[in-house]
Structure 1
Amino acid sequence: MDVDLIERCEALERELRIQKEQFRGVFESSSIGMAIVGLQGKWIKVNGSLLKILGYDRERLYQLNFQDITHPDDLNEDLILLKSLISGKIESYQLEKRYFNSNGNIIWGLLSVSIVRDAKGLPLHFVSQILDITDAKKLTHLRLTEMDKKINRIAYELHENIAQTLASIKLFLASSRAKRIYEGTDLMGIDQKLTSLISDIQFLTDQIVPSTFIEENLHSLINGLVVKYAIAHDIKINLTLDEFVKTLTFPSTYNLFRIIEDQIDSAVLRNASSVAIKLKKLKSLTISFNDDGRIETNSSNPKLDLLISNIKTRVEMLGGVIKNPGDIYSRNMYSIAIPLPRSGKSY
């Protein structure tokens, strides 16, 4: 009996040594930054890839904690998720956040965090993986900017050139009918086809970039958006707009509109019955959102992920920050602060 117990203990020790060596091998050789982090945020152990990403030597990094090198606008969301991890509400989380490297420059990391507990279930430390996504973020910004430019150019061409040319032809046809030019030609039929074509082009233009963008009227645009969603999705939207919003000009209006539109889309996807949106001019342009939509934290919704990613990207493009996001998937109560444009300037 004693011999059998000793053999089992020895086998268990061998298995633990093997697992430890396997973890050490993966940890040290991984191309992804990996770290063991204490419950208070101190770096306990980091691999070479993380040192390369952050630009620190090992000794210097061990003198810091993750809070020291996290962008202050991203720290609160990270700490909220860590508390949920410690309490057992979640088993792991993933977060895009900004870090300061050793030169003080901002790098973007995709952070994945899990927790290790002892035999009694008490938390010991965190295991973090950090993937450098700085280049991907820059590329996303560039693609979104270029896409917006192309969309705006197409909408402008449809509205200003093609539609206006067709309208001029309609006037010519009307004049021709009045003067009885081109007798025997079905001018009325041609006129009706032109009217239908102009209507189709206007509809297409509004789907791409609504005409109020061209008229530089964000106030009317957002009001129209609210009415459209309220009718289509039977959702109550309470909108409060500062008079300052009326002074904003294109292209400011485009990114702001898309942020609000994506947020309402997000609320619809999460089955919200009411949404409150406020735009105010304080020290910055502040947009606050509050809705009663919900979604399971562990569920996957690619469309919702894309909407949230687009919101974050457009906020970054405007130089803004998202404040008090909490768990953006299940509790959408947060605000966005965007720097005010200089006098005579747009965003």
Structure 2
Amino acid sequence: MNTQDDYIDLLNKTSQFANMGSWKVDLIEDKLYWCPITKKIHEVSHDFKCSIQQALNFYKDPVSKKATSIAYQRAIKKHQEYDIKVKITTAKNKEKWVRSIGIPVISEGKCIKVYGVFQDITEQETQYQELKRQMSLLNDMFLNSHMGVSFADLDGNLFKANRGLCNIFGYEEKEMLTKSFQDLTHPEDLDFSLTYIQQLIDGEKTYHTTEKRYKHKSGKTIYGFLYLSMIKDSFGKPLHFMSQIIDLTQQYETNKKLKSYLNVTTDQNKRLLNFAHIVSHNLRSHSSNLKMLLNLLKIENPELEDNEVIAMVNQSVNNLSETILHLNEVVMIQTSDRKNVRNLNLKEYIVNTIETLSAIIKENDCEIIDTIEEDLAVNFVPAYLESILLNLISNSIKYKSKERRLKLNLFVKKKKKYLILYVQDNGLGINLEDHKKSLFGMYKTFHNHEDSRGIGLFITKNQIEAMGGKIEVESQVDKGSTFKVYFKNEA
């Protein structure tokens, strides 16, 4: 045997262990030889006999067929070895990626044989193509992301930066790559920045996040959220930094404006409350004086007791006093101190309210069903809770239907954020299509009742909202109403 044949024999034996097929073309005899592994790769039978032309037919991909033909002809004519990656279509019509190596055998200046190796690399190539796709995707994200992304050496000098970072700082890419993180960081934040950078280098941290100030090209201060991480080699040695920056400048400027508006609004509210206090105090004094003068006038002139004009003046003074009282209640709600909040047993307050209203409950033959738990508590101002319960229960009695006995259900449901008190009756009901928007308005009434003032629900809503809660209503005319009081659950 010659040296080439020995080498080919060695390749055949090695292929069985390395899953690599060997092949040989004898140009003198015009024969092609495939080893069993090569046949297995092509998915043909063990006794398959193949010509050179038939072998080329497995290359249905035109690019692969052309590359194989060129490489094979160069091996024969120019005596060049080749190592190429191409795609074949097997006998079972399955596409595979293969590595094809060809080595020409030269005798007396002429190629007499070509032998080589055939290896199935489909799995590796599929993984490579997927990795290439992902790398391309990551590169597109890096280049086009609005987030600023950069890489810097251990001294902080930038060597790669995306368009997003350039836009944040106002630099062109070439300018950006002449900068270091020290150049970009606000001077007052530099010492703190150096501290966490050293922690990353020393391995005390794997990443660091913070909001910090930076310097724009124009000299203005900008704000950003930084995610900084350390890239290391396989031995854990620090190589370089990767930073991701989200521009928060607009958010900071918006917050600054909001704070300014809030300060102005707070100041205006304080002035309005002071004005309301002064007005309610002064009006109350004048109202009291009017009432006192009117009483003195009637004492000194008893004949005026039956005077129609005096009676009208007296009614107007009484109405004025009541209005001032209501206004004062509203002012007191708006200036409520959270220090007055207590942990209150809801059941006890409902029982007390029912006892307070026991006379009118009996007079109106009301059935009250209270299923509230004994130990249920809410955080609330005591006076507010008394007022809310009194208003809602007395309203149910006041606006009962004459067609049926009043039935009032009191029960509670619990939600994550709220404890909800239901006050449900079968009274007159409210036309919500007409009155929903004005239901809780001041001096809004919906029934012709002599005691209607239109202030109770207004005050109730303000008291509930002052404590962080809310009130809702469901109602049908001549069916009844359900008021739902949402107490903020702070448990």
TM-score (norm 2): 0.36
Higher strand share: 2
Higher helix share: 1
TM-score (norm 1): 0.49
Structure of higher CA gyration radius: 2
